[in-house]
Structure 1
Amino acid sequence: MSHGIWEFYDITAEGATERQDGHGIRPWIEFHDDGTATGSYGCATFRVNAELRSTKLALGEEVGTPPPTPSPRGPYTLCTSSADKPYVDQNEHSLKRFLRGPLTITRKPPEKPTVPGRPVRHDEIVLKNERGESATASPVMFDGFFTTRYRPKEFRPEDTVLGFDSADEDLYLDFHPGGVVTGKLGCNAFSAAAEFSGTSVYFHGPKLITHRTCPGPNSADEHRLLGILDAKRYEYKASESGMWVERGFYPDNALLSFEAVPRP
C-alpha cells in the first residue's frame, strides 16, 4: 500500500455498508516518502501525517496545505450540487471518522467488475479499525504504469459499443512521468498532455507529429481518439491487465477501455 493511489469503495459499520464511490465522487489516498498522505474524502481534499507498515496504518493530524481540486471539473458531480450536499457531508464524515485511529490491513480476493469495459478488480485491501468497522480500497495506478503500453480496445458512448480497426502497431498510448502521453492513434504518431490528479486525468493539447495519409478505417480511429483526448477530464483506473477512462455515470457514460501490453 506504500506506493500508488488507493480509492475507497465502501465502509461497513454496525452491519450496514455505505458505498463511498458514485456520481463522480471517488475518495482516495496517496502516501508519500516524507511521512504524509494526501487525498480526498470525496469532495474535500486533505494532507495528514501517516505511519504505514505492512499490515498497519495510522493517520494523524492534518498538516500543511491540502492538494487542490483537479481542474477543470467534470460536467456534473455531487460536489457541485447544493441539493446533494447533505449526502456528500455524511459520506465525508463517515470516511473521516473511520480513518482516525489505528487500522489493520488485509488482502481481499479479486472481484469481477460491475460495469462493462472495466478490468477485473485486483489487489484490493480491507482496512479495519478498533471499533470493528471496515473499508475496502483498491489501487488506481500501479508501480509499472509508466512502463506499460495501453492499446485502445473499445469505446462505449452510453449504450453503444465501438471497436477500433487499426493494427496493434498503429494504435497505442505510452504514458510518461511529467504529464505527457505519446503513441499512435491509428496511423500517425501523436503527443498530448495527460495530467494525473488523484483518480482523474486531464487530457489536452493533442497534436499529430507525423502527417501520413491513412486508410479510411485508420483515419476514422485517429479522428475519434483525437476528439476523446481534446481538453477533457476523465476518471481513470489502470492495472497490469488494462485501463479505463470515463466521463459521466453508467449507463449514460462514455468509457474508453484499453488492453495492457509490455512496452518495447
Structure 2
Amino acid sequence: MLKTRPIAATAVLASLVVLSACGTEKAGSDPGAGSVAPDVPVTGVHWAFDTVTVAGKETRAPDGAHIEIAANGQASGNSGCNGFGAEVSVQGDTVTVKQGQGTEMACPGERGAFEAMLQKAFAGSLKARVDGDRLTLTSDDGRNVVALTSEPPAPLNGTIWTVDSLVSGETASSPPKGSEGKATFVIDEDGRVRGNLGCNRFTATAKVTAKTLTVTGPVATTRMICSGPQMELETKLYELLDGSLSYELRHRTLTLTGADGEGFAATAKPAASPAP
C-alpha cells in the first residue's frame, strides 16, 4: 500500500526546493533579477546649478542658484533670484520632482531667463547620474538636462559676498533694477569689511562675534557718481552698515539684519572670482 506524505512535510519540502532553485540561478542570466539598484546619492548635499538645457537650448545658472534635498524628500533651493521648495523622491537612478511654492521677486534679465528654464527642466521624472562632484538630471525624452555640482559651505571670513536681495522683516525684494550684482563685500579675518556698495568702493572696521557684526568705525568710500539704481542701492546699504547687525550663515547664503528687521542677503561667489 502506498504511503502518503503529511501535508506539512510536503509544504516544507516544496519551500526548500524553491529556495534551492533560487540559490542556483546564474548570476549573469538576468542582470536585474534578485537585486535592487541603490538610490543615487543626491540627498544631504548642497548642489549648485551649473546649466539647464531645454529642447537643446542651454542656459547658464547665475551665482547662488542651488538645491538641497533632505533625506525625507523635502527640498529647498534658489533659482538665483527666488527661493523655492519641492518634494523629491529617489528610487534607484530615477529622481522625481514635484515643484512647490516659492518667493515672487521680479527676476530681470539673465536671472529671469534661467528661472523660467529651470521651472521647465527641474520637474517630473528625471534620470540621475552622479560622477564625482557632478550630478546630471535628464528627462525621459532626453530633451531637458539639468547639470549641477556639489559645493562646500562658504566661510564667513574671506568669502566674496554678492548682495542679491534687500530684507524687510519677513519680506525679501530684489535690489533696484539695474543694480543687480553690483554690491559685493569681504569680511577679513582682521575685522575689516571692504568691497563695493553698488557704486563706490568702501572699507570699514567691524567686530564679529558668533551672531553679530558690528561696524565700529566710519564707513570710508570713494566719491564716484553713478546711475540712479546703483546710488539707490548704495544709499540703502550705507545706512544699514551702521552699528550692530545680526547675521545668519546658511551654507553659501549670508543674511544680515538690524534690530528693526531691515537688512540684506548675500550669496557667496565662486572661489575663482576676483576679490572686490
| TM bracket (short chain) | 0.3 to 0.5
What's the TM-score, normalizing by structure 2? 0.43
User: Which structure has the greater CA radius of gyration?
Assistant: 2
- More contact order relative to length (CA 8 Å, sep ≥ 6): 1
